[in-house]
Amino acid sequence: MTLLTVPEFQHRTVLLDEAVDALDLAGDRAHGIYVDGTFGRGGHSRLILSRLAADARLIGFDKDLQAIATAEQIGDPRFDIVHDSFATMTASLAARGVRQVDGILLDLGISSPQVDDAARGFSFRNDGPLDMRMDTTRGISAADWLAVETEQNLEKVIRNYGEERFAFQIAKAIVAGRAVQPISSTRQLAGIVAGAVKTREKGKDPATRTFQAIRIFINKELEDLETGLNQAYACLAPGARMAVISFHSLEDRMVKRFFASKANVEQPDRRLPIRAVDLPQPEMKLIAKMKPSDAEIEGNPRSRSAVMRVAQRLPIPLATTGGAR
């Protein structure tokens, strides 16, 4: 078996203390079971472990083999790592004898080591193979997908996942470019996009939105998030909290709507003869919305777009029984 070497790329965990504080690990809660659904390079997990009691448990998830290699170096008997998406949470926890947990943290998007390693193909700043898979053992690479996808679907992905207004022009340019030679490198794709995008916001590279769109599509990030939010909620014990850090509007919108759907319950017409005890009850309480401080952004500019939302699962109301009718 070949040992995986973990490159020494720096990663600065965004909202480190704030996210762990949001899980409320004080008192009896320090003895619970927790989930870090996006281990990354372990910043959040290590801090969580430092605050947990000896009989507590932390289960991490990640699709990236380099993240798994880092996780396996922790060596804490309270910690277990799962090489899979947090979208498999229900089954993965059940396989470990866990039905409910006391808190869940999701730190979405990609990590700095993934961006900075040109061999991963996530960034156009350094030339590298056009891969973009978080889990390189599964799925199709970005290069292979670009080689076969229709112009119509290319436009749809770039527009919907990248919120790119020049999606039509970019898709057309990609199809024209691959007819000349395969699109296999990050700089090659970035050049094609730059030629199709005539104007762009000041300070933003023309390829930014397209690379984001392709990465999200290749890794099924939004599909995983939708499934993962529902599975995470199902695993939360009453009183448990879920904190989610997102880095672009598509993710944050999904998280906001999901939490709102559980916290804001539509009430029936007050004129109807319904007892207060029979009214629909909220299932979650919104706790906080938070962004990085100016100091954190200055020290880590990549944290600028981060938004953390926190919600708590409410206890299930006790069923009431009426008298004989």
Q: Write the pLDDT tens digit of every residue in 144-167.
A: 999 999 999 999 999 999 999 999
User: HSE of 141 in the Cβ direction (CA atoms, 13 Å)?
Assistant: 17
- Whether the pLDDT of residue 72 is over 70: the answer is yes
Determine whether the annotation assigns residue 62 to a binding site: yes
Q: Residue 45: phi, psi to the nearest 5?
A: -60, -45
- Whether the pLDDT of residue 5 is over 80: the answer is no
**Mean pLDDT value across residues 28-41:** 97
Give the pLDDT confidence of 256-282 residue by residue, as tens digits.
999 999 998 665 556 555 655 555 688
Distance from the first to the final alpha carbon of the chain: 70
Q: Supply 114's token pair.
A: 């993934």
Say how many C-beta atoms besides its own lie within 10 A of residue 302's C-beta: 17
Which class for 140: exposed (0-12), middle (13-18), buried (19 or more C-beta within 10 A)? middle
3-class DSSP state for residue 290? Answer: strand
Find the radius of gyration of the CA atoms of the chain: 22
Q: Residue 89: phi, psi to the nearest 5?
A: -55, -50
For position 272, what pLDDT does the model report? 58
Determine whether the annotation assigns residue 43 to a binding site: yes
Q: Which domains occur in the chain, in start order?
A: 16-112+221-313 (3.40.50.150), 136-218 (1.10.150.170)
Q: The whole model's pTM is what?
A: 0.88
For 294: left if phi > 0, alpha if psi spans -120 to 50, otherwise beta; the answer is: alpha
- Look-up of token digits 């899980």: 23
For position 119, what pLDDT does the model report? 86
Find the angle CA(167)-CA(172)-CA(176) to the nearest 5 degrees: 150
Give the pLDDT confidence of 206-260 residue by residue, as tens digits.
999 999 999 999 999 999 999 999 999 999 999 999 999 999 999 999 999 999 9
How far is Cα 180 from Cα 195, in angstroms, rounded to an integer?
15
Determine whether the annotation assigns residue 139 to a binding site: no
- Whether the pLDDT of residue 325 is over 60: the answer is no
- Whether the pLDDT of residue 102 is over 70: the answer is yes
Determine whether the annotation assigns residue 299 to a binding site: no
Determine whether the annotation assigns residue 258 to a binding site: no
Whether the Cβ atoms of residue 125 and residue 211 lie closer than 8 Å to each other: no
Q: Supply 209's token pair.
A: 């939105």
- Whether the pLDDT of residue 322 is over 80: the answer is no
Determine whether the annotation assigns residue 107 to a binding site: yes
Determine whether the annotation assigns residue 128 to a binding site: no
- Whether the pLDDT of residue 117 is over 70: the answer is yes
pLDDT band at 112 (very low <50, low <70, confident <90, very high): confident
- Whether the pLDDT of residue 80 is over 90: the answer is yes
